[in-house]
Structure 1
Amino acid sequence: MYYSTSTGNTETVAGYIAEYAGISDMEDIGDATDSDVTGSDGLIIGAPTWHTGADEQRSGTSWDDWLYDTLPNLDLTGKKVAIFGMGDQQSYGDNYCDAAGELYDLFTAKGAKVFGMTSQDGYDHTESKAVKDGKFCGLMCDEDNQYDMSDDRAKAWVAQLKDEGFM
């Protein structure tokens, strides 16, 4: 599992996911080697949205450089990827979890196959670049306004990933 965080919220949700998925290795994407990423059977990746409204480098974390400097040099054809994103629906409802959409766009452009699309039901946002064909491109969490729902959402999402054959 690779993530990066600004305030610690992404790491918190990564911890929930790791617990339910039985993952012991969570790492900041800035510390990952190319062979770590390409050598994995599947990747669970997560980012916060910090640069709201931006066309690129939306997370304000080490993902920003990694996505544009490292990812273009990797072959991820057929790689299983599951995405989680963090956002604030109340303060940034027009850009909710946009960085997750950036992960989706750039990883699929490199040939990755995304698992774990989820419903927008139960969320209170206006727009999101993380919405693909009417669904979120993975697990979206709001530790600012719906922190009490993140653990259950992570548990359900991991069960969904298992049902989809991701793990």
Structure 2
Amino acid sequence: MDKIGIFFGTETGTTRLVAKKIHARLGDALAAKPVNVNRIEADDLLQYDALILGTPSYGVGQIPGRTAGCLEANWEEFLAKMPAGTDMRGKRIALYGLGAQERYSERFASSLKRLHEVFAGYGAELVGDWSTEGYVFEHSASVVDGRFVGLVIDQRTQGMHTDARLDAWLEQVKPLLVERLRQVA
């Protein structure tokens, strides 16, 4: 596929809102319209070579889904549809996750790490790590070597930073995703 695929899981709609902001910044010519993972099959995602994937945080560092307390299907249910032995080598993925650093300071945005582990396990190249600077929390499983494994958005307590964080992160990941599209073109 000659566009960046944008897929997200959501419970309250905030992850969807961020996906729409990302799409608006990238534009229709470069990115496909964002799609909720509870509305797709594995092949819908696998057709893309460059992806942006978003997740809310639910449970205690779990993949969001019904067993983590979500009322609707989310990443857990989508990932159950992935074929055994899925090989995503050659695909480049940037991740973003939502969390509430004041309310869940002891496990802030930890679901992002679980999604990172899943797609790394499929062999995908993950890009777009993000600084922890400007966030206040006790612990996050999503911090590796002092950085988040993807962009973290706290819309609840730091919504005033969302647009600037999106702009800076997209400046970082857009060239990497576009480069991947050119490599397969």
The two structures have a TM-score, normalised by structure 2, of 0.82
Identity of aligned residues (%): 29
How many Å separate the matches in 2 of 1:7 and 1:29? 14
Matches within 5 A, 1:1-167: 1-22=6-27, 23-51=31-59, 53-54=60-61, 56-58=62-64, 60=70, 61-67=73-79, 69-71=80-82, 73=84, 74-163=86-175, 165-167=176-178
Letter in 1 for 2:122: K
2:181 equivalent in structure 1: none
Return 5+ residue gaps in structure 1 as ranges.
none
> Alpha carbon RMSD of aligned pairs, Å?
1.6
Contact 1:58–1:102 (CA under 8 A) maintained in structure 2: no
How many Å separate the matches in 1 of 2:51 and 2:134? 26
Larger CA Rg, structure 1 vs 2: 2
Return 5+ residue gaps in structure 2 as ranges.
1-5, 179-185
Q: Deviations over 1:7-35 (max 9, x none)?
A: 11111111221111223410011222222
SS of the counterpart of 2:157? coil
How many Å separate the matches in 2 of 1:7 and 1:86? 11
Q: Report how many residues are paired.
A: 163
Q: Which moved more, 1:143-152 or 1:9-18?
A: 9-18
Q: Deviations over 1:119-151 (max 9, x none)?
A: 100111111111122211111000110011111
Q: Deviations over 1:91-139 (max 9, x none)?
A: 1011111111111001001101111111100111111111122211111
Q: Which moved more, 1:90-99 or 1:73-82?
A: 73-82
Letter in 1 for 2:20: G
The two structures have a TM-score, normalised by structure 1, of 0.90
SS of the counterpart of 1:102? helix
Letter in 2 for 1:111: G
Contact 1:4–1:62 (CA under 8 A) maintained in structure 2: yes
Letter in 2 for 1:90: E
